[in-house]
Amino acid sequence: MAPFNLDTCARPNILALEPYRCARDDYKDDGLNILLDANENAYGPPITAADASNGLFRASSSGSGSGSGTDADGPGVDLLGLHRYPDPHQHGLKQLLCNLRTYAHTPKTLTPENLFVGVGSDEAIDLLLRCFCVPGHDRILVCPPTYGMYSVSAQSNDVALVKVPLLEAPTFAVDTDAVCNTLANSSQHIKLVYLCSPGNPTGALIAKEDVRRLLEHPTWNGIVVVDEAYIDFAPDEASLAEWVTEWPNLVVMQTLSKAFGLAGIRLGAAFTSPPIARLLNNLKAPYNVSSPTSALATYGLSPRGVAAMRANKARLLAQRDRLLAALPLIPGVGRLRGGTSSNFLLYEMLDAAGRPDNATALAVYERLAETKGVVVRFRGKEHGCLGCLRITVGTKDEVTRFLAALEQTLAEVRGV
């Protein structure tokens, strides 16, 4: 077992932090109480009952304004209860997330005490930095190419980056020897390792044994953070969420933005050990998850919502397979440079001589958007991604339009 010690890893001021408390931490709202504790507007929001039920909004039967009600047709967002602050603890929502990620990989059970929920995964990324890294002193380790918010959040918190690139495409595996050697150097003051699995922009899963090796590092006292934003597009039971019941130095981040199609509600989760979850929940803003977000997320994680997610995922995976078959047949499309465990693919764009080329890829990216109305992502400046575009899998009609636009645009740009 790694020499992990939360008391010496976390910042002392965070360990000593007394979280914000409200009267409803002591006296739960059962819908019958007269609530005169939080300086809310007792007359409610400027939305009438007719507004709330006109088809754009749906009023729920919940009397407390917690936003957790549902009805037979879909999520019940109680707009007439928006004058009340949302549930600061989200126990029910956390239990649904635990249910979703329970695969019986371990005899231990995920519980709401293992969870932090917040404004997308980005809130968890930031709070982890604030919780463990002393500004101007500590560092985080990232493995490019990877998600850009790790470095943005680090810079905003005055935390330096240590970069250990992934191994060469197409595997984009973690260079575990290099990472372990770097972590062994105590002078680096590395507190967090951020890993993305499936990777963004690589689309490749990180091997579980590579993660285990970092968790078991014999001298490093720090946290391994695995970002699983795209995990539902990977093979079944690929998630490491249950591992947090076994490893006190693991955080697994997830989101409802991708497979669940709920990017607009901004709901993310961090699975971790109860002590780390308590620190994150102590540090967060008191009411960071809004009532509408909670209601929509609760519906999305209900049996009906999960079934709909899986049906939509199957349709996306069929279009992913279609892209994998069709893209290599288009002149000027090069190699697939990543994995196929996400809802996007990373492909090379070739110049007239058949070489991966950033100028060609950038020109294709710009012309697709400006003349064809098709927006993809240029990734050619990332490590190991020369000449690459990242292509999100769309609907059947969107993929049809994209393939035709790409073939025409590549012919124009390459002049062949």
Helices (H), 331-387: 358-372
Phi, psi for residue 315 in degrees, rounded to 5: -65, -40
C-alpha 339/C-alpha 201 separation (Å) is 9
Task: Name the average pLDDT for the chain.
Answer: 90
Q: Which amino acid is at 128?
A: L
In a domain, 207, yes or no: yes
The residue range of the domain holding 384 is 306-414
CA 142/CA 179 separation, integer angstroms: 9
Residue 1 lies in a domain: no
Are 143 and 238 in the same domain?
Answer: yes
Do residues 317 and 338 both lie within one domain? Answer: yes
Last residue of a domain, one of 278, 301, 324: 301
Which residue did the predictor score with more confidence, 285 or 51? 285
Which pLDDT does position 48 carry in this prediction? 72
pLDDT at 83: 86
- For the stretch 126-138, pLDDT in tens is 999 999 999 999 9
Number of continuous H segments (helices) and E segments (strands) in the chain = 14, 13
What is the tally of structural domains in the chain? 3
Which run of H or of E encompasses 267?
strand 267-272
Output the pTM of the full model: 0.90
Query: Could you say which of 259, 282, 301 is where a domain stops?
Result: 301
Q: Is residue 29 part of a domain?
A: no
Tell me the pLDDT band of 310, cut-offs 50, 70 and 90.
very high
From 70-74, 218-222, 312-316, 396-400, the region with the lowest mean pLDDT: 70-74
In a domain, 31, yes or no: no
| Beta-carbon contacts of residue 13 (< 8 Å; ≥ 6 apart) | none
The CA distance from 112 to 186, in Å, is 34
Which pLDDT belongs to residue 398?
Answer: 97
In sequence order, the 6+-apart residues with CB closer than 8 A to the CB of 191 are: 9, 132, 133, 138, 139, 140, 222, 223
The helix (run of H) or strand (run of E) holding residue 316 is: helix 303-326
Examine the domain organization and report whether 68 and 97 are in the same domain: no
CATH code, domain carrying 283? 3.40.640.10
Q: For 159-210, give the secondary structure using H, E and C.
A: CEEEECCCCCCCCCCCCHHHHHHHHCCHHHCEEEEEEECCCCCCCCCCCHHH
Asked if 13 and 148 sit in the same domain, the reply is: yes
How many angstroms separate the CA atoms of 284 and 288, rounded?
A: 7
Residue 254 has what pLDDT? 97
**Quick count: other Cβ atoms within 10 Å of Cβ 372?**
15
Q: How far apart are CA 264 and CA 251, in angstroms?
A: 24
